[in-house]
Amino acid sequence: MIGCNMHTYYVIRNNIDIDIDIDIAMSVSMLGIIWVNCLFVKNQPIFLEMIRSFSDFRTFKKPPGYDEFNQKMNFYTKLHLIYVHIGGMSYFTIFSYFRYKKCVRINQERSLNEICLLFSNIHMPFDVNFFPAVEIIAALQLFSSVYVYFLCGSILWTNVELVEHLGFRMRDLKRVLLEVFKEQNLEKQRRKFGYAIRYHNELLRVGKLLDKFYGIELILHVTLTGMTLGCCAFAMINNNSLDTLILFIGWLFAIVISCIAGQRLLDETSTLPDILYETDWYNLDVKLQKDLVLFLCRSNRPMEIKAGTIVMRSALIIQILKTAYSCLTLLSSVK
């Protein structure tokens, strides 16, 4: 990222006839990726606490269908890993080859000395455009960038998995509540309702941890996504540059799955009080009815995943696309 920023500064300062829109997109993209990776490392204790809670089947029983749900999530995880690896290697190999040919042609046409073997433009205060220095830099750049991008993609998918597991537990809580109201024995009914209350409290605690873990991590990601998409779209339209296509798809996919995950959690938790209206609550014990009112008051507010003050929901995708379009029109007018 530093080398890319130095290249942008060098081109602007010396008024060189080279497009820097790809440099801007790469810099903004790398800033967001480094932010996500660093925040994940910082929030490791929160992550481990959530994993321990989801894996604890002694305090709360294993939900029915958990193994099937886990197998399905593992299958989706494998698909996501394939997508990340294919997309990443396509960007760092196939599209880099086309960029190399374009860079060589521009150097010949404009009598420049740009480093063409790298997949992103950099500027060094000394000459490295010779064998084997440029090959070593290209190998280091490829190795570090591939793993940084792969790590970020895996982290964002881990966030989705955590939300899906929490949503699965919320569905199991609804099942437990239905069993409470079907119970005819008053003593067993109270005991099962107490279990449901403890279960709900634990899910609320995990939801707060998830919001803390997820929200801080996504503040800059949500902020920069619109800018990155706009810069990538401008590069593709203005320069017929396909090497930013994978970057565009990657950022768009990342924000889409994050918003959909937040929307799914919002939907699952907002429908929790509805399950009570499907039961004959008026036939319950008077004391249990009072406890039920308190439960309704607490469950009326759905869980939300926030990036700062921004709630992760499906409508956020449209807002980010509007920001990307505004950024695209701004760059087009400046150009």
Chain-centroid distance of CA 240 in Å reads: 28
Burial 257-291 (b: 16+ CB within 10 A, else e): bbbbbbbbbbebbeebbebbeeeeeeebeeebeee
8 Å CB contact between 164 and 155: no
Selection from 217, 79, 220, 91 nearest residue 155 by Cα: 217
Triad 87, 92, 97: Cα angle to 5°: 120
Per-residue model confidence as pLDDT tens for the chain (335 residues): 677 778 777 778 878 777 777 777 788 888 888 888 888 889 999 999 999 999 888 888 899 999 999 999 999 999 888 888 777 766 667 777 777 777 888 888 887 888 787 777 787 777 777 788 888 888 887 777 778 888 888 888 998 999 999 999 999 999 998 888 888 888 888 898 899 999 999 999 999 998 888 777 788 888 889 888 988 888 888 776 666 777 888 889 989 998 998 999 999 888 888 877 777 777 777 888 888 888 888 888 888 888 878 888 999 999 999 999 998 898 888 76
Q: How many CA atoms lie within 13 A of 234 on its CB side?
A: 26
pLDDT for residue 335 = 61
Q: What percent of the residues of the chain are helix, what percent strand, and what percent coil, each to the nearest 5?
A: 80, 0, 20
Q: How many CB atoms lie within 10 A of CB 228?
A: 30
Residue 92 is given by DSSP the state: I
pLDDT for residue 1 = 66
Strand 310-311 relative to strand 306-307, pairing: antiparallel
Q: Tokens 């869980």 appear where?
A: 303
What's the token pair of residue 35?
Answer: 């932010």
Query: Domain spans of the chain?
Result: 2-88+152-334
Tell me how far apart the terminal alpha carbons of the chain are, to the nearest angstrom: 24
In degrees and rounded to multiples of 5, residue 249 shows phi and psi of: -65, -40
pLDDT for residue 68 = 95
Q: Where are the beta strands (DSSP E) in the chain?
A: 306-307, 310-311
pLDDT for residue 116 = 80
Report CA dihedral (207, 208, 212, 215) to the nearest 10 degrees. 50
Q: How many CB atoms lie within 10 A of CB 168?
A: 18
pLDDT for residue 161 = 92
- Model confidence, pTM: 0.85
Which secondary structure element, helix H or strand E, spans residue 174, and what is its range? helix 133-182
